[in-house]
């Protein structure tokens, strides 16, 4: 019973609070929030989000010679878990070699063809040279026979002797030509053997290299360290089943965790403020209480467009000072790049600033004055005031009621620097009246004449005194 009473009492109390809040909101009373013009140290800071990475690292790569054998992509069959600490020579990953095995089979067939071609050419040249040598021997015998016939014909008629001399000369010339042909044929056969021999050695070398590469499909660590997966073309870390290109065969990296960088990107509006050597305050999302310091080392000269973003950004590398064993690659960092520091500056919150014609910046003062200000440097929260305000002035953070249409108290320093408002085109056609002579005389519309009166009134109104916030009357100066 008591429990039910407690529950009913709680419900009634909640309803009463809600009713009071609703009545308060319907009463129409508004609370103006004020800010004070302060003087002090002003920091121009550029806040970005970055990612930790090692300044230097050792790349773990797949075999780079696979491009020589027309292998363009590789599939990771198995890989060690990311973040694993390994020693030199430890297993890192295994690549799928099924496609490469097919290349090896094709190369073995090509090797057999090259060996058969070498043997066939060797046999052909051997047989050809043997036949040429037999022909030379027979020609030498023929020359000897013709010499004997010529010697025995010295008692024959001169015609017979002359015929035998001619036959001997023909035999000797045939033998000489056969010797020259034999030398040429020998050189030809030597070049044939060199050609088929070179082709055979090429295929043998490729086959031997492919057999050696088979062992490289098991990737081992070249140095001790922590394994960090590399990212693919889609900016996602690789994993088992991912494909890598033989033109960029990096599987993972072994970072040097003693020197870390925060890689971040700055938009094209703020990059002009960032320079090498600037100090940076760094925070870690993983350890909110840990504060680090760093320095800007490099600022990219060429912008790029990040995925899922239309804005152009520039890469900025920030080197973290000191070493910390808790730092790990890919941790998210919050960076505050201190672009400049002003020792003594008047500054106000950005919420106090309002704009007109994109050239007049003004604020609403508590004393009822709508005051133009001259701006200096800005950061994510505040803006420096160069003229128009004094330390201790109280300003409205929002537009106060009754002051929206007040005239702005302009600064003389800003004369000539403001943009002129564009004239408003008249929507009504001009009024004409016909003259008896047929000429036309344009009569100014009524709204134009009324505008002249309003402009005259504004000139007089520009010197009026500020309003009182409660009564709406002008304050005496």
- Separation of alpha carbons 132 and 265, rounded Å: 81
CB 221, CB 49: distance < 8 Å? no
Q: How far apart are CA 153 and CA 139, in angstroms?
A: 21
Instruction: Please name the residue ranges forming H helices in 153-246.
Output: 158-215
> Which tens digits make up the pLDDT trace of 299-334?
999 988 877 777 889 999 999 998 888 888 889 999
3-state secondary structure of 270: coil
Number of Cβ within 10 Å of residue 19's Cβ equals 10
Helix axes 158-215, 98-152, angle to 10 degrees: 170
- Give the phi and the psi of residue 134 in degrees, each rounded to 5: -65, -40
In this structure, which long-range contacts are made by residues 9-14, counting pairs with CB atoms below 8 Å and at least 24 apart in sequence? none
The helix or strand, by DSSP H or E, that contains position 73, with its residue range, turns out to be strand 73-79
CA 276 – CA 288 distance, rounded (Å): 26
Residues 6 or more apart whose CB falls under 8 angstroms from that of 104 comprise: 207, 210, 211, 214
Its pTM stands at 0.53
CB 370 within 8 A of CB 402: no
Sign of the torsion formed by the C-alpha atoms of 88, 94, 99 and 102:
positive
Q: Rounded to whole angstroms, how far apart are CA atoms 266 and 274?
A: 9
Which pLDDT value is given to residue 191? 93
Q: Look at residue 33 in the predicted model and tell me its pLDDT.
A: 84
Between vectors from CA 78 to CA 72 and to CA 82, what angle results, nearest 5°? 105
The residue ranges of the chain whose pLDDT is under 70 are 1-31, 419-477
In a 13 Å sphere around the CA of 227, the CA atoms on its Cβ side amount to: 27
pLDDT score of 187: 92
Nearest residue to 432 (alpha-carbon basis) of 417, 444, 414, 449: 444
> Do 284 and 333 meet the contact criterion of CB atoms below 8 Å apart?
yes
């Amino acid at each position: 019973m008591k429990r039910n009473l407690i529950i009913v009492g709680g419900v009634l109390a909640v309803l009463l609070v809600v009713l009071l809040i609703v009545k308060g909101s319907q009463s129409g009373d508004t609370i103006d929030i004020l800010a004070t013009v302060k003087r002090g140290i002003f920091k121009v800071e550029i806040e970005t989000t970055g990612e930790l990475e090692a300044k230097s690292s050792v790349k773990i790569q797949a075999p780079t010679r696979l491009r020589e054998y027309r292998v363009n992509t590789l599939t990771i069959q198995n890989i060690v878990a990311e973040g694993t600490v390994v020693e030199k020579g430890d297993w890192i990953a295994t690549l799928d070699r099924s496609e490469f095995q097919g290349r090896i089979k094709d190369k073995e067939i090509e090797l057999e063809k090259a060996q058969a071609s070498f043997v066939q050419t060797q046999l052909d040249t051997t047989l050809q040279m043997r036949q040429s040598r037999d022909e030379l021997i027979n020609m030498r015998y023929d020359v000897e026979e013709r010499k004997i016939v010529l010697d025995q014909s010295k008692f024959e008629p001169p015609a017979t002797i002359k015929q035998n001399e001619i036959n001997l000369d023909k035999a000797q010339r045939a033998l000489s030509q056969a010797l020259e042909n034999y030398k040429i044929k020998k050189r030809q056969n030597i070049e044939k053997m060199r050609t088929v021999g070179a082709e055979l050695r090429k295929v043998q070398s490729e086959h031997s290299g492919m057999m050696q590469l088979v062992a490289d499909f098991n990737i081992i660590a070249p140095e001790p360290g922590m394994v960090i997966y590399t990212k693919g073309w889609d900016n996602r870390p690789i994993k088992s089943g991912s494909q890598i290109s033989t033109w960029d065969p990096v599987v993972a990296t072994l970072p040097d965790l003693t020197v870390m960088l925060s890689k971040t990107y700055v938009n094209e509006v703020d990059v002009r403020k960032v320079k090498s050597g600037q100090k940076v305050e760094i925070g870690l999302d993983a350890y909110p209480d840990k504060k680090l310091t760093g320095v800007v080392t490099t600022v990219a000269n060429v912008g790029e467009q990040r995925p899922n973003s239309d804005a152009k950004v520039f890469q900025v590398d920030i080197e973290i000072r000191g070493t910390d064993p808790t730092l790990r690659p890919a941790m998210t960092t919050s960076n505050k790049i201190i672009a400049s520091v002003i020792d003594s500056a008047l500054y106000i919150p950005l919420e106090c600033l309002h704009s007109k014609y994109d050239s007049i910046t003004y604020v609403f003062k508590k004393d009822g004055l709508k005051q133009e200000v001259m701006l200096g440097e800005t950061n994510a929260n505040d803006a420096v005031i160069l003229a128009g305000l004094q330390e201790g002035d109280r300003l409205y953070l929002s537009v106060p009621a009754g002051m929206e249409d007040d005239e702005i108290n302009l600064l003389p320093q800003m004369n000539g620097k403001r943009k002129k408002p564009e004239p408003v085109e008249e929507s009504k056609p001009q009024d004409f009246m016909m003259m008896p002579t047929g000429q036309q005389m344009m009569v100014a519309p009524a709204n134009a004449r009324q505008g002249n009166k309003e402009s005259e009134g504004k000139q007089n109104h520009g010197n009026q005194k500020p309003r009182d916030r409660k009564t709406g009357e002008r304050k005496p100066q």
